[in-house]
Amino acid sequence: MKKPALLTPVPAAAPAGPRPAPAATATRPATADGALAARLLGRLQRQAVPAVLVLLVLVSSVLFPSFGTLDNARSITVQTSFLAIVALGMTLVILTGGIDLSVGSVFALGGVLAAWASPWGIVPALLLPLAVCGTIGAINGLLVARAGMAPFIVTLATLLAARGLLLAVTHEGATTYLVPRGSAFAGLGQGTVWGFGHPVLIALALFGLGGVLLQRTPFGQSVFAIGGSSDAATLMGLPVARTRVLVYLLSSLLAGLAGALSAARLSSGVTIVGVGMELDAIAAVVIGGTLLTGGAGTVGGTLWGVLLLAVIQNLINQIGSLNSSYQSVVSGGFLIVVVLAQRYLFRARPTP
């Protein structure tokens, strides 16, 4: 009897088309290219404003010899220091995804209260504005964090309240409180170290502390996490409400301190200062690279943004034929360009 033939299994035919490359070969170059592109875009975001500032200073020094003098540099830094302190607090608020429209009125109120209390010494002249302005900031934070109200509405209301309290203290602006000449409080705003005013050194010290606070403490990590995603920060167990209250509190405290230093510098509590200052602070923060949606930014970038706006204003004054209102036009143009650049860079950044 004939034996049946053994059947050998036939392998299935491979699908038509080119074979896919191994996973490691396909992903490694893309991952390396993506990481390199992310680093380049991040560096561009961090270094663009300083590069523009340095270029503007060099060109202006050539075109206007008086611009590059040491006296002009001292003048720019002193005038900028008050806005810089306010913008530092605004940076903390914007990093959490919020906004603080009350800082201009709080700045003016702090100056008036400091001048009113200055005859009793430097301690009351500092403590009174800090206490009142800190209370306004705590109210902002509690209404935003605990009551769930929109930051825009809350801080707009306290803007009006702080300006109304300012007018009440000064009898509708008819009374101007003067700082005693030669007092310790006046020396805080008018004294110099190596030719640079005390407000400049105070602003630099506060920015140093702000950088350490954001980069080296759990509070700073919470600020960035809340700005990135408030819901995710809550799920991680971070103190979301407490952090938000603290950032609004710090913003008002810094605005009140800046107002007190301005009163010491001017030897009086001027009632008309601070109008529109909140917009200048927001512009400086955004130009410095902090996202309006929160979660990304640095205090160093804010300082560069403040200096850039100050140099533009000084340059307009150097030209002489232009009105000072052109500063707002240029600042607005810079702000639009920076926001568009931020959107483009973050869209172009590859996802990990």
- On whether the CB atoms of residues 85 and 210 are closer than 8 A, the answer is no
* DSSP letter, residue 101: T
Encoded tokens for 41: 């875009």
First to last CA, the chain: 69
| pLDDT of residue 76 exceeding 50 | yes
**Average pLDDT across the chain, whole number:** 81
How many other C-beta atoms are found inside a 10 Å radius of the C-beta of residue 239? 16
Cα–Cα distances in Å, from 113 out to 165, 202, 271, 274, 276?
10, 20, 11, 14, 20
| pLDDT of residue 312 exceeding 60 | yes
| CB environment 158-178: b (16+ within 10 A), e (fewer) | bbebbbebbeebbeeeeeebe
Tallying the residues shown for the chain, one arrives at 352
Supply the angle between the helices 122-145 and 151-169 in degrees, to the nearest 10.
150
Cα-to-chain-centroid distance, residue 112: 25
Nearest one of 260, 252, 265, 258 to 114, comparing CA atoms: 260
- This prediction has a pTM of 0.83
Q: How confident is the model at residue 323 (pLDDT cuts 50, 70, 90)?
A: low
Q: How confident is the model at residue 105 (pLDDT cuts 50, 70, 90)?
A: very high
- On whether the CB atoms of residues 272 and 137 are closer than 8 A, the answer is no
Q: How confident is the model at residue 2 (pLDDT cuts 50, 70, 90)?
A: very low
Question: What's the pLDDT score for residue 6?
Answer: 46
Q: How confident is the model at residue 325 (pLDDT cuts 50, 70, 90)?
A: low
| pLDDT of residue 7 exceeding 80 | no
Q: pLDDT exceeding 90 applies to what percent of the chain?
A: 36
Q: Which of 203-207, 211-215, 305-309, 312-316 has the lowest mean pLDDT?
A: 312-316
Cα-to-chain-centroid distance, residue 227: 13
Distance separating alpha carbons of residues 103 and 276, to the nearest angstrom = 9
| pLDDT of residue 254 exceeding 50 | yes
* DSSP letter, residue 118: G
Distance separating alpha carbons of residues 207 and 113, to the nearest angstrom = 24
144 contacts: CB under 8 Å, gap ≥ 6 = 98, 150, 151, 154, 244, 245, 248
- On whether the CB atoms of residues 346 and 45 are closer than 8 A, the answer is no
Judged on CB neighbours under 10 Å (0-12, 13-18, 19+), 19 is: exposed
Highest mean pLDDT among 20-24, 87-91, 315-319, 322-326: 87-91
Bridge partners (DSSP) listed for residue 268: 178
Distance separating alpha carbons of residues 309 and 48, to the nearest angstrom = 14
Chain segment 186-239, per-residue pLDDT in tens: 888 888 888 788 999 999 999 999 999 998 899 989 999 998 888 888 888 888
Nearest one of 218, 237, 217, 258 to 79, comparing CA atoms: 258
Q: pLDDT exceeding 70 applies to what percent of the chain?
A: 79
Chain segment 113-134, per-residue pLDDT in tens: 999 999 998 999 999 999 999 9
| pLDDT of residue 35 exceeding 70 | no
Question: What's the pLDDT score for residue 297?
Answer: 83
Encoded tokens for 140: 């902002």
| pLDDT of residue 301 exceeding 80 | yes
* Phi, psi at 63, each rounded to 5°: -75, -35
* DSSP letter, residue 119: G
Chain segment 11-34, per-residue pLDDT in tens: 444 444 445 444 444 444 445 555
35 contacts: CB under 8 Å, gap ≥ 6 = 352
How many other C-beta atoms are found inside a 10 Å radius of the C-beta of residue 316? 18
Question: What's the pLDDT score for residue 45?
Answer: 57
What is the mean predicted confidence (pLDDT) over 148-175? 90
